[in-house]
């Protein structure tokens, strides 16, 4: 009797139900992919000055997370380009611009991708933001997130740099209109440290030129942190 190898494949198949978190992610990503006219822009940015600032802000051996600094920078840029802090409203065919800059940080957990939200990221101190971020990430990875940890996001940062990914096209989380992807740190031929940023935006809310100006402002703030932090390390800390 001949052997049918497909029967081995059928027996070996492993149907794995999605966790509640993964089901929510799947639903929202499908919604975004099917309904949002999304465009992604990419730019490289010199990261040396921001890394230097991070070192200056170290408390003993602990430095603020890169995502903390990026959340502050994105929030500052959103105060100047507030349509990127908006949401499309299908029922009214209008854009709702949110009054607060609440920056979500994507977090990889044993149960799947989730977010934590740094509320009013443009108005709080970096030590406060960093302590909040670290506490929320620990709760998320332990499956103990509080409702306040995950609610109210108006913009998202997703950072795959630690996994070696240099550039990617992130997907918007509805009802937000934009997400910033952060790639891996890499050295250029000239020896400088650079990172590629990928901004995906909802073209119903923002035109390409406006999104490009927002991304340019983010690049500028990353490359010249002393313009917003203060050379003495005291202002906007």
C-alpha to C-alpha distance for 161 and 70, rounded to whole angstroms: 13
**129 belongs to a structural domain:** yes
The residue ranking higher by pLDDT, 20 or 162, is: 162
Q: Are strands 38-46 and 193-202 parallel, antiparallel or unpaired?
A: antiparallel
Tell me what the mean pLDDT of segment 181-189 comes to.
93
Of the candidates 133, 138, 131, the residue with the CA atom closest to the CA atom of residue 102: 133
Distance of alpha carbon 29 from alpha carbon 156, whole angstroms: 13
pLDDT confidence of 231, banded at 50, 70, 90? very low
- Is the model's pLDDT at 11 over the cut of 70? no
Torsion angle of the four alpha carbons 149, 150, 156, 159, in this order, in degrees rounded to the nearest 10: 70
Residue 122 lies in a domain: yes
Classify residue 16: in a domain, yes or no. Answer: no
**pLDDT, tens digit, 9 for 90 and up, residues 71-102:** 999 999 999 999 999 999 988 899 999 999 99
Report CA dihedral (226, 230, 234, 237) to the nearest 10 degrees. -50
Q: Is residue 91 part of a domain?
A: yes
Give the single-character DSSP code of 178: E
What is the DSSP-derived secondary structure letter of residue 174?
A: T
Q: What is the DSSP letter of 82?
A: G
Q: What is residue 59's DSSP assignment?
A: B
Q: What is the pLDDT of residues 91-134, one digit of tens each?
A: 889 999 999 999 999 999 998 899 999 999 999 999 999 999 99
**Strands 112-118 and 103-109: what pairing?**
antiparallel
pTM to 2 decimal places: 0.89
How much is the pLDDT for 47? 97
The structural domain count of the chain equals 1
Tokens 């992610």 label which residue?
A: 25
Residue 130's contacts (CB-CB under 8 Å, 6 or more residues apart) are: 64, 65, 68
CATH code, 104: 3.30.559.10
* Dihedral sign (CA 137, 140, 146, 147): positive
> Does 8 reside within a domain?
no
Say if 161 falls within a structural domain.
yes
Residue at 62 is within a domain? yes
Q: What is the share, in percent, of the chain residues with pLDDT greater than 90? A: 75
Residue 6 resides in a domain: no
Residue 61 confidence (pLDDT): 86
Convert the pLDDT of each residue in 20-68 to its tens digit.
777 888 888 888 888 899 999 999 999 999 999 999 999 888 999 999 9
Instruction: For residues 95 and 177, give the distance between their C-alpha atoms in angstroms, rounded to a whole number.
Output: 10
Element (DSSP H or E) covering residue 134: helix 126-141
Residue-averaged pLDDT of the chain:
91
Structural domain containing residue 192: 38-229
List Cα–Cα distances, 115 to 6, 14, 96, 138, in angstroms.
40, 28, 22, 12
pLDDT of residue 233: 41
The residue among 213 and 4 whose pLDDT is bigger is 213
Question: What is the rounded distance in angstroms from the CA atom of residue 186 to the CA atom of residue 18?
Answer: 35
């Amino acid at each position: 009797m001949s052997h049918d190898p497909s029967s081995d494949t059928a027996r070996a198949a492993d149907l794995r139900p999605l966790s509640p978190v993964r089901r929510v992610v799947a639903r929202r990503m499908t919604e975004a992919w099917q309904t949002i006219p999304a465009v992604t822009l990419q730019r490289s940015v010199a990261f040396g000055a921001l890394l230097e600032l991070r070192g200056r802000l170290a408390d003993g051996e602990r430095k603020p997370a890169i995502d903390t600094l990026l959340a502050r920078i994105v929030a500052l840029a959103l105060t100047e380009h507030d349509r990127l802090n908006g949401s499309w409203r299908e029922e009214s065919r209008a854009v709702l611009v949110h009054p607060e800059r609440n920056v979500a940080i994507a977090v990889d957990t044993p149960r799947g991708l989730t977010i934590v939200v740094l509320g009013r990221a443009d108005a709080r101190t970096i030590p406060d933001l960093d302590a909040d971020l670290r506490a929320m990430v620990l709760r998320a990875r332990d499956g103990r997130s509080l409702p306040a940890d995950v609610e109210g996001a108006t913009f998202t940062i997703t950072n795959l740099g630690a996994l070696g990914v240099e550039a990617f096209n992130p997907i918007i989380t509805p009802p937000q209109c934009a997400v910033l992807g952060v790639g891996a740190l890499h050295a250029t031929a000239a020896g400088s440290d650079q990172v590629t940023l990928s901004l995906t935006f909802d073209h119903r809310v923002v035109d390409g030129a406006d999104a490009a100006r927002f991304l340019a402002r983010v690049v500028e703030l990353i490359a010249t942190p002393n313009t917003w932090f203060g050379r003495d390390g005291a202002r906007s800390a």
